[in-house]
Amino acid sequence: MLRLLRPLAAPVTYTRWLHLLVPGAGYSVWIFISPDSPWAPMLFAVPVGLVPGMRLAEGVQAQLLLTPQQRGSADAAISAARGVTWADRWRTVLWLETRMLLAVPVGYATVWLSATAVDLVLTASGNGPSDQWLVRGVDPHWWYALFAPLPLLALLVIVVLSGRLITQAAKQLLGPSPVQRLTALEERTEQLLERNRIARELHDSIGHALTVAVVQAGAARAACDPEFTERALAAIEETGRDALDDLERVLRVLRESETPVGQRPTLVEADRLLDSARGSGAKIDADVSGPLERVPGVVSREGYRILQESLTNVLRHSGTVPVRVRITVADGRLELEVTNPLGDPAAGSAAVPSGGSGLRGIRERAALLGGKAETGPHKGQWRVRARLPLDGLRIAP
């Protein structure tokens, strides 16, 4: 019973009713002016519906009155856009015709059923025989008032059902076309990819800075050496400044969608990562071969983040251990390899890094470029190895 009464308490039921009464009232005015041409408004809807802006006006009105809970949502079933194609314009014409055909009976039901309820009450009060169509010429009786709610109940049923019907028609005729749906899906996918990229940027950059700061602070406290503490603080300061620069780049992307991605760090700046790891106590053996400055920007940027996450994992899980870094540009691809001894659980470091978002991010970065990344134990050591194709671009001699 409550489920049947719930639509009567929903505000959208009455906004849909209002949406239907508007053209119904206009049709009634037309019939009063020109009763000999009742179908003229239906014909007039054809040229009006072909106007591109009419689809936008009808879509905004339908969103506001028929589906107010979805208004402004990217997933709205009713679109508010101009009729660009002829198919959309003819759908608008069909919508206007459908709205008019449904609005006329709802308008008449609103007037006559309401009047009938009032007439039953007046007749029951003893005001003489009624002139209305339902109780015309009937002698008054008090119990007529008991039937007065029936026309109102019938009107509410008509309002609820017609509101649902016009809403479904609007979703079909004013809803986005297949081209619009595909465009919206592409935009949504691009937004999600951009958010995922920004999340990886923050994870790699800020995570690396915090890891270096924690390792340096812990080592300085354990060493109790003023000179070492000074070097540790300097390393923390430098790493923090680099992290702030990276954070500013990411925030600029959020503020300005047109910010060039070329401002992100590349492997040409790999020395600052290696120096940061060395400042944290790690013994870095780096070997770089090939023209890094000629690697395509997107490959170089993703390679930088892979190296950053690899060094962060070393410091976080294995501590200040020897690390071997190999970066090679040859044969149309970039190869990056970072290896280090597995940590000692007894010393408080994890023997094997956990398979968190960092390692998954490394593999995702490589896969997006058509390459491959391997992470895991290898011959008693932990190894991160990535092979990134240069997208067919030839490296100049």
For CA atoms 210, 211, 214, 220, the dihedral sign is negative
Whole-model pTM over 0.85: no
**In sequence order, what DSSP letters do the residues of 140-174 get, joined into one string?**
P-GGGGGGTHHHHHHHHHHHHHHHHHHHHHHHHHS
CA distance 140 to 127: 7
**Side chain identity at 96, as an amino acid letter?**
L
- Tell me the three state secondary structure of residue 372: strand
Q: Which pair of tokens denotes residue 112?
A: 């006559």
Helix 270-279 with 178-223: angle, nearest 10 deg: 30
Residue with the two structure tokens 């919206």? 184
Sheet of strand 322-330, all strands in order from the earlier edge strand to the far edge: 283-289, 322-330, 333-341, 381-389, 372-378
Residues contacting residue 173 through CB under 8 Å, at least 6 positions apart: 91, 92, 94, 95, 98
b/e string for 99-128 if b means 16 or more Cβ within 10 A? bbebbbebbebbebbeebbebbebbbeeee
Question: How many residues are present in the chain?
Answer: 397
Give the pLDDT score at 30.
72
Give the pLDDT score at 259.
43
Given a contact cutoff of 8 angstroms between Cβ atoms, the answer to whether 138 and 122 are in contact is no
Per-residue pLDDT of the chain (397 residues; tens, 9 = 90+): 567 678 888 889 999 999 998 887 777 777 767 777 777 777 888 888 888 888 888 888 888 898 888 776 666 788 888 887 888 888 889 989 999 889 889 988 998 888 888 877 877 776 655 555 555 656 667 777 788 888 889 999 999 999 999 999 998 888 887 666 666 666 666 666 667 766 776 676 677 777 777 777 777 777 777 777 777 777 777 777 777 766 666 666 565 544 444 456 788 888 888 887 887 777 889 999 888 888 888 888 888 888 988 888 887 777 778 999 999 998 888 999 999 987 554 444 444 555 556 788 788 888 878 888 998 888 888 899 999 988 644 433 3
Give the pLDDT score at 397.
34
Give the pLDDT score at 72.
65
In the chain, the DSSP E strands lie at: 283-289, 322-330, 333-341, 372-378, 381-389
Residues contacting residue 75 through CB under 8 Å, at least 6 positions apart: none
b/e string for 224-242 if b means 16 or more Cβ within 10 A? eeeeebebbeebbebbeeb
Q: Which pair of tokens denotes residue 106?
A: 């709802």
Q: Which pair of tokens denotes residue 95?
A: 């919508």
- Supply φ then ψ for residue 132, to 5 degrees: -75, 160
**Side chain identity at 89, as an amino acid letter?**
R
